[in-house]
Amino acid sequence: MKSFRAFVIKEFKHIFRDVRTLVILFGMPVVLVILFGFAITTEINNAKIAVLDLAHDNYSHKLLDKISSSGYFNIADDLKSYSEIEKSFSKGDIKLAVVIGENFGKKLINDKDAEIQIITDASDPNTANIVSGYLTAIIQNFTFETGALKPPLVTVKSQMLYNPENKSVFMFVPGVMTIILMLVSAMMTSITIAKEKELGTMEILLVSPLKPWVIIVGKIVPYLFLSIVNSITILLLGLFVFQIPMNGSHILLFSEVLLFIISSLTLGLLISTITDTQQSAMLISMLGLMLPTILLSGFIFPISSMPVILQYISNILPAKWFIIIIKSIMLKGTGFDTIMFETSIIVIITLILGIMTIKKFKIRLE
Amino acid sequence: MDDKVITAKDLTKTFGKFTAVDHITFDVKQGEIFGFLGANGAGKTTAIKMLTGILSSTSGEAKVAGYDINTQRNKLKKNIGYMSQKFSLYEDLTLKENINFYGGIYGLSKKQIVTKTGEMIERLDLQHIENTMISEIPLGWKQKIAFSVAILHHPKIVFLDEPTSGVDPITRRQFWNLIYEAAEDGITVFVTTHYMDEAEYCDRISMMVEGRIEAMGSLKELLERYDAKDMDEVFLKLAR
C-alpha cells in the first residue's frame, strides 16, 4: 500500500508538471464544449439575407416584416436589381436572397400565381437547406394569414420530442464528452506507459518489488480520477451554460460514464502493450481511436447516412453506443432497461479488450 | 556454500529457435565485483533479465540472494538493486522526489527514507541540487545518483547493466570508486560492460560469446590462460 501511494503521487507529479498534459486535461474539455456549444451550430439565428422586392406593395412589405421579425433572419441588403444578387453573395456574408415578384400583392388577392424566389448559397449545402426550409415555413404561414390560401384539409403538425427547439448543443455535449474521455483515458494512459518504456524507467519498475498489477493500477488511477473530474465539468457546463435537460437518473448516468471510462482505459492499456515510444502511442491513439470516434460515432455525421460498411464498423466503437446511452438518459430520461442492450455491448467490448491486454502483457513478461 | 549470493546452473533462455543464453553455469560470492563481459548481443542483458526476475528462464536453475528466480520473485526483488544504461531517473522529478519515490516502492518507511536521503546527499555532496529537476543535472552526476538510488535500500546484490556506456573516462573512473565503496559495504556487484578495459576493476570476470560463457576467472588467470596482454586480446582470441 505504501509503495502504491508513492507510485500514484509520482504519477500526479508527472501530470501536473507537464504543460501539454495540463492543456489536454483541463483546457481542451472547456474549449471544445464552448466551441461546439456556441460557435458550431446547425441552428439558424439572425442569418443575413438579401431582399429584392420588385413589387413594393403592402403585402410584400408585410411579408418582409414578418421575415425580419422572426428572429431567424436579418435583412442585410436591400437590392435594386437582379444583377446585384450575385454581387451580394460574392461579398460573402449573406446566406440567402429572396426575390418578390412584380405585382405580388395583386396576384395574391386575385388567386393568381404570386411569385417568390429563394436563392441560397449552396457552397455550404447544409446551411442552404436549413435556411431555405425556415424561410419556406415563414412564407407559407404568411399566405395562410392573409387568407390567400385556404388551409389544407390535412395538416401535418410535427413535434420535436426530447429536443423541441432542435438545439445542436444537445448533440454536441455527449459527443464532446465521449471524445474527451477517449483522449484522457485511452490516449494519455497509453502515452504515459509508453513514456516509461521509452525512458527505461519501466525496467526499474519491473525489477522493483512492485507487482505488475500495482504498476498498471497505479498508472490508471490518476487518469480515472481526472476523467471523472472532466466528465463532471462537461456535464455541468452542458446543464448550466447550455440548459441541456437532465431527465434521467444521476446514478445511472454516472455508472455509464464510469463504464465508458474503464473501457477507454483498457483500450489505452492495450495500445501501450504494442507500442514502445510515446510518439507511436500518440499516433495509434489519434489515427486508430480519435478519428474513428469523431467520424463514425454519429457525433458529427449521422450513422444512418453512412455507407453500409462504415455503419458496420461503427458498431464496434464503444463511443457510438455511449453517445446513444448518454442521450437516452439525459434527454429522454430512460431507465436501465431500455439501454441494457447498448450497455452490454460496451461491457463485452471492454472484456474482449481486457483479455487481449492481459495476453499481450504476459507475452512480454515471458 | 553460504557465501554464494548467485548460483546459476545450466541457465538457458530461448526465443523461438534463437538461443539467447545457452546453458550458463557460474556463481558469485558475497561482496565480490563480478564482471559480465561480452560484445553487444552476446546475451548479457537477457541473462540479467532472468536473474532479476523480469524474464522467466526456459531451462536450468538459478538462485539469487538465496531465492529461486522463477518461483520466489517477490522475495528476490526486495533483495536486489538494478541500474540500466539509461540511468532511469525521472527527469521531471527533483533529486529528492526521485529518492522518495524509489524508497517508497521498495517499502522503506518515511524515517528510513529521510535518514538514507541525508546520508546519500552528504556522501555525494549534493546539497546544492537536492531540489533541482533531474533534467537539469549533468549526465555524470545523474549516473552517480542513479547508482546511489539503486542501492538505497541496501540490497544484497546490485545489477548494473552497462552502467558506463556513453560516459567520459574520468566520470567512469569516479563511478568505479562508488562501486568499490558499495562492495566494501558488503553489497555484491554484478556488472555488465562491453568496455574490455573495465575488466581490470572486477574481482572476477566471465566472458560471454554467443550466449555461452567461454571463460571465467580473475583477470590474472585469464591473461595467463590465453597468453594475452590485456582483455581485448583475450576477447579477440575467444571470439574467433
Residues of A in contact with B77 (CB under 8 A): 207-209
Residues of B in contact with A203 (CB under 8 A): 54, 82, 84, 86, 88
> Across the interface, do B105 and A209 touch by the CB < 8 Å criterion?
yes
- Give me the residue label for grid cell 527533483: B94
How long is chain A?
A: 366
How much of chain A, in percent, has pLDDT values that exceed 90? 30
- Interface residue of A4, A16, A204, A276 to substitute, partner B, most B CBs within 10 Å: A204
Decide if pLDDT at B163 tops 80.
yes
pLDDT, position A55? 86
Decide if pLDDT at B1 tops 60.
no
Lowest-pLDDT range, A59-63, A311-315, B165-169, B224-228? B165-169
Decide if pLDDT at B240 tops 80.
no
Based on the structure, what is the number of domains in chain B?
1
Mean pLDDT, chain A, rounded, equals 86
- Interface residue of B105, B132, B136 to substitute, partner A, most A CBs within 10 Å: B105
Q: What mean pLDDT is predicted for residues B148-152? A: 92
Residues of A in contact with B104 (CB under 8 A): 2-3, 5-7, 9
> Across the interface, do B105 and A366 touch by the CB < 8 Å criterion?
no
B50, part of any domain: no
Lowest-pLDDT range, A241-245, A298-302, B172-176? A298-302
Distance CA A185, CA A293 (A): 14
Burial of B202 (C-beta count, 10 Å sphere; 0-12/13-18/19+): buried
pLDDT, position B184? 92
pLDDT, position B194? 80
Decide if pLDDT at A366 tops 60.
no
Decide if pLDDT at B155 tops 90.
yes
Q: Does B77 touch chain A (CB under 8 A)?
A: yes
Q: Does A10 touch chain B (CB under 8 A)?
A: yes
Distance CA A29, CA A39 (A): 15
Q: What mean pLDDT is predicted for residues A136-141? A: 86
- Interface residue of B46, B59, B88 to substitute, partner A, most A CBs within 10 Å: B88
The secondary element (H helix, E strand) that includes residue B151 is: none
Per-residue pLDDT tens digits for A182-210: 888 899 999 999 999 888 888 889 899 98
B239, part of any domain: no
Chain Cα centroid distance, residue A18: 28
Q: Does B90 touch chain A (CB under 8 A)?
A: yes
What one-character-per-residue DSSP string does A124-178 give?
SHHHHHHHHHHHHHHHHHHHHHTTSSPPPSS-------S-TT--THHHHHHHHHH
- Give me the residue label for grid cell 420530442: A161
B207, part of any domain: yes
Nearest chain A residue to B89 by CA distance is A201
Decide if pLDDT at B109 tops 50.
yes
B237, part of any domain: no
Mean pLDDT, chain B, rounded, equals 89
Domain containing residue B11: CATH number: 3.40.50.300
Per-residue pLDDT tens digits for B81-93: 999 888 789 999 9
Cell of A320: 457510438
Residues of B in contact with A17 (CB under 8 A): 92
Distance CA B152, CA A288 (A): 42
Burial of B153 (C-beta count, 10 Å sphere; 0-12/13-18/19+): buried
How much of chain A, in percent, has pLDDT values that exceed 70? 93
Mind listing the domains of chain A with CATH numbers?
A: 7-40+167-365 (no CATH), 47-145 (3.40.1710.10)
Confidence class of residue A173 from pLDDT cuts 50, 70 and 90? confident
Nearest to A2 among B84, B93, B107 (CB): B107
Distance CA A279, CA A292 (A): 19
What one-character-per-residue DSSP string does A39-87 give?
IS-SS-SSEEEEEEESS-SHHHHHHHHHHHHTSSEEEEEEESSTHHHHH
Strongest mean pLDDT among A77-86, A348-357, B231-240: A348-357
Residue of B200, B134, B235 whose CA lies nearest to A199: B134
- Interface residue of A14, A208, A278 to substitute, partner B, most B CBs within 10 Å: A208
Q: Does A204 touch chain B (CB under 8 A)?
A: yes
Nearest to B92 among A5, A7, A14 (CB): A14
ipTM of the complex: 0.87
Q: Does B36 touch chain A (CB under 8 A)?
A: no
Decide if pLDDT at B196 tops 70.
yes
Q: Does A218 touch chain B (CB under 8 A)?
A: no
pLDDT, position A149? 63
Beta strands in chain B (DSSP E): 4-15, 18-29, 33-38, 59-64, 67-68, 80-83, 157-161, 188-193, 204-209, 212-217
Q: Does A203 touch chain B (CB under 8 A)?
A: yes
Per-residue pLDDT tens digits for B34-90: 999 888 888 888 999 999 988 889 999 999 999 999 999 889 999 999 998 887 899
> Across the interface, do B105 and A210 touch by the CB < 8 Å criterion?
yes
- Domain coverage including residue B122: 4-38+56-227
Residues of A in contact with B131 (CB under 8 A): none
Cell of A5: 501511494
